[in-house]
Amino acid sequence: MGMSLFILLAVVIWLLPFILVLTSNRTSGSEKVAWLLGIVFISWFVWIFYLLLAPLKPKQQRY
């Protein structure tokens, strides 16, 4: 029981950056895909950069 709980917790922690980026309104479209690919191929440090830097370009306001 203890080991399976540990594994479940580890999987949830590992998936957390993906879930947070996917549900965030800070980016959209191809920019969001780029951040997700960065998380997959580089590391979790990309997620920290996402929190600090996203969005890369300001959203345009419509009047």
Residue 61 lies in a domain: no
Q: Where is pLDDT greater, at 23 or 58?
A: 23
Q: What separation in angstroms does the CA of 12 have from each of 23, 52, 63?
A: 15, 22, 42
Output the pLDDT for position 51: 78
Residue 61 main-chain phi, psi, to 5 deg? -90, 140
Rounded Cα–Cα distance for residues 63 and 29 (Å): 22
Bond into 17 cis (ω within 30) = no
The highest-confidence range among 27-31, 47-51, 55-59, by mean pLDDT, is 27-31
In this structure, is residue 29 part of a structural domain?
A: yes
What is the domain count for the chain?
1
Query: pLDDT digit string (tens) for 7-42?
Result: 999 889 888 888 988 998 888 888 889 888 888 888
Q: Is 60 inside any structural domain? A: no
| Count of other CB atoms within 10 angstroms of residue 20 | 14
- Residue 28 falls inside a structural domain: yes
Q: Domain range spanning residue 14? A: 2-53
- What pLDDT score was predicted for residue 53? 79
